[in-house]
Structure 1
């Protein structure tokens, strides 16, 4: 180890960044050391997720180099959107409880009420649905609860994969990290970029949050450190929180191992292992669109038919073509031949559609989705009932991701309650993961007819009460189920012949004395 490395390590152990120079990248900070290939991978994923592709270069009929837009199918976005919709929806129920049939009081009722308020205040379910989309595409998201001193409410701050950087991790997850947020400001008609780096670290049993602000006029760099009050008036440089048992932030990544960088705690996007397939799909689609636009028409024209003109530099005259057309080709033809000959072939629609569908099948295999999930020829996809009845690969893949999301939600619940208790906003007991229930509402995957038959048989053999069967089948509260059962029993009595005869005699002769 040389002298420079030793000095760097001293500053890293000391926990303070050198601020004399300008940070070009996040890795220039002495506390942060992330594989540059991981950072590059995340940025490439973001570019593809947004549909940022370079233009296609081609030679026109005059041999000039031209450019055109690249046409693509954003399968990264479509795949991520598909999985996010399957994994989570707003019907999901999150409950903190230890109550059962033998207990009249729930020890964690106050915790449940508090969590319901915080999640409702932050519109958590809706936001999680939105952020799961880029999480699957890029490889991760982080959320951090914090206390708004002005309102006394707990707010959520979300960070995408390119704004969260791990500092320390173990087999249970990331224990220390950095969250980056960028703010722009106009100064003298010039855009200034402020980057806030929020360090979350453990110092013995204390949880320490340190804020550093950097300023630059170059969008591609972090900048030079400046005082926090230049942008944030009330933000403290350091905050210490006691009583926490887990990091204040919670990091979620797709299920599966990071085989590209095995030692990285960061997650992979669901399409990171199928980039060649995505390229084949996009290239085929781009060629198909270009063939439709140009008709791939090729016309040979005799040099005797074209007008010529000298160029602006006095060079020999050249034939004049439309500069954006690659249809016409100059050919030497004899007088007894056709001066214009169309050699155009038919557009190969069926071949292109077949090729794209073939690549989509490969993508389904890469993503571990059922056959028929994607289709380019307009054929209908499998229904949710078929997904379950076939024990489909999509359903099993979905369940793997559900497990990760469930752990993420439970960790966030504990983090919120611990933070609230540290700031004296909550005084109850902190639940463990076993006391937190997350019901993902799998109704979209369940065949109601099959459920009716299942619960009907269970009720017939006395395995489940009628009220409970109604609750589970129709997803109604217990009080509603009880009322429905009473109404059903009343209707059955009304339709009983003996009951109708008794009621008729009662109406005629009155009550028996």
Structure 2
């Protein structure tokens, strides 16, 4: 940091004291944020479950001394979110538009941003925390990129009955200044100043403490090329960001537009499962084999010298790497060698976990046996779970409704950004087609559909004349319409009857 920036910060510190410079303790202290801090405290709790980060366990050992040890969580939240995200969205998903110009442009942008690979990961965190947001922007090379925001980085300003129309995005940076950690917070506000005017405001805050946003400082300290305010008149039709919340009502705060994380839906079950898992791990660690040896077995050898004097030889000791044997003293040593190993209550822990896992499955919307042990004593596969119970499929359908809406909003935001020439260094828009082009998302249902059975059934429909051959080839062999037509022409050309008829219909050459 140069001397000019240091002077600016000193003057701003004085301005804070007299109320001339804005200062925030929490982001929700800003009057434009229309949501309580308790919602983000809840999201922070969900994040700890997802990251499997818990405080250390305090206990009193056998000597009456207070000790601390790590808490061994089950990582159930991470596993459940990962599994649900994998059956919701994968690389086989196709995002298309019936508008040819929009389709070509969107496919190119999404591929360059590796959307299919990245979105599955972001969807996993959305399930864990209750939502995810994304916004397109133009980088220094005039490419359209997608910036992602986790649930704790997205703050609604105003929401309509169906979706959030104004919001603030938060990004944090940590720098070392004069051997001290300084915490910077960038707030990017998206607001409608009128039905046709859309404004983006950037504000930078600086703090010497990690738990405080701090005072507002000049943007050029970190972002010399960034403008403080940009307003679009009669250009933007919808917000240039997209937000996806998890399905279902937020029963923690009925006024909140934010969704619930997985831990919110089964908090008691998840806490208890983690406690049982931690106790079982601890029991295994403490239940290792122990054998008690009377202390007299380990006494030193007694040697009689030539003058009848007594001298002690080397004492008998355990192997340096041995931790099985324990010395016994007093009355306990009179019983000789004793097995002190405690039995591990594996069956009790197993049964308790199984009951709680079934309750967890029910609360978060998974089919029975997804995580708990099946009747065969093994974990059921995803296909077995769906064939036995449709609950996972119903949960997936609810999530896909939200996912599909999010993808449509994101694609419209991309088209809007691409149509604004002022955002590009050369002043030329990259898209001039219809911003409201219809967007379609095609999800792969492979987990829930028996592909071989589906192919047999559709083959019968084709033979019966109910399904066209071209559609059958496209659905079961992953062909485009053009490729399917080429296949059909080649099949007909290789058919003997067709070849004879074709030759018969050829006119004779006139000499």
When the two structures are superposed, what TM-score results if normalisation uses the length of structure 1? 0.80
Equivalent runs, 1:211-250 vs 2, <5 Å = 211-242=202-233, 243-250=235-242
Whether the 8 Å CA contact 1:139–1:268 is kept in 2: the answer is yes
| Alignment pair present for 1:22 and 2:20 | no
In structure 2, the partner of 1:352 is 349
Distance 1:284 1:449 in 2: 42
Equivalent runs, 1:64-463 vs 2, <5 Å = 64-97=65-98, 108-148=99-139, 150-204=140-194, 205-242=196-233, 243-295=235-287, 338=335, 344-375=341-372, 379-384=378-383, 386-390=384-388, 392-423=390-421, 424-432=429-437, 435-463=438-466
Distance 1:391 1:359 in 2: 19
Displacement of 1:36: 2.2
State the Cα RMSD in Å.
3.1
In structure 2, the partner of 1:508 is none
1:119-166 C-alpha deviation (Å, 9 max, x unpaired): 122111211111011110011111011222x32222211110111111
Whether the 8 Å CA contact 1:356–1:376 is kept in 2: the answer is no
Whether the 8 Å CA contact 1:333–1:339 is kept in 2: the answer is no
Q: Tell me the SS of whatever aligns to 1:272.
A: helix
In structure 2, the partner of 1:43 is 44
- Of 76-85 and 47-56, the range deviating more from structure 2: 47-56
Displacement of 1:477: 1.8
Whether the 8 Å CA contact 2:188–2:201 is kept in 1: the answer is yes
Q: Tell me the SS of whatever aligns to 1:168.
A: strand
Displacement of 1:287: 1.0
Distance 1:448 1:156 in 2: 34
Distance 1:57 1:298 in 2: 25
Distance 2:180 2:187 in 1: 23
Distance 2:329 2:61 in 1: 15
Displacement of 1:31: 2.1
Whether the 8 Å CA contact 1:296–1:347 is kept in 2: the answer is no
Q: Tell me the SS of whatever aligns to 2:263.
A: coil
Whether the 8 Å CA contact 2:137–2:145 is kept in 1: the answer is yes
Displacement of 1:350: 2.1
Q: 1:329 to 1:46 in 2, by over 3 A?
A: farther
- Of 116-125 and 474-483, the range deviating more from structure 2: 474-483
Distance 1:298 1:21 in 2: 65
Q: 1:195 to 1:329 in 2, by over 3 A?
A: farther
Distance 2:386 2:370 in 1: 14
Distance 2:82 2:228 in 1: 38
Distance 1:33 1:331 in 2: 69
Distance 2:84 2:20 in 1: 43
Distance 1:271 1:192 in 2: 32
Whether the 8 Å CA contact 1:303–1:333 is kept in 2: the answer is no
Distance 2:403 2:81 in 1: 14
Displacement of 1:387: 4.7
- Of 344-353 and 468-477, the range deviating more from structure 2: 344-353
Q: 1:331 to 1:283 in 2, by over 3 A?
A: farther
Whether the 8 Å CA contact 1:169–1:175 is kept in 2: the answer is yes
Displacement of 1:480: 2.9
In structure 1, the partner of 2:320 is none
1:226-263 C-alpha deviation (Å, 9 max, x unpaired): 01111111100000123222111111111111111111
1:360-404 C-alpha deviation (Å, 9 max, x unpaired): 1111111111111014697242343x4554451111111110111
Displacement of 1:26: 1.0
Q: 1:388 to 1:278 in 2, by over 3 A?
A: closer
Q: 1:300 to 1:55 in 2, by over 3 A?
A: farther
Q: Structure 2: which 5+ residue stretches go unaligned? A: 1-18, 298-322, 422-428, 504-511
Of 470, 474, 477, the residue aligned with 1:474 is 477
Q: Structure 1: which 5+ residue stretches go unaligned? A: 1-17, 98-107, 306-324, 504-513
1:9-57 C-alpha deviation (Å, 9 max, x unpaired): xxxxxxxxx7635322112223224222211101111122111111112
Q: Tell me the SS of whatever aligns to 1:346.
A: coil
In structure 2, the partner of 1:31 is 32
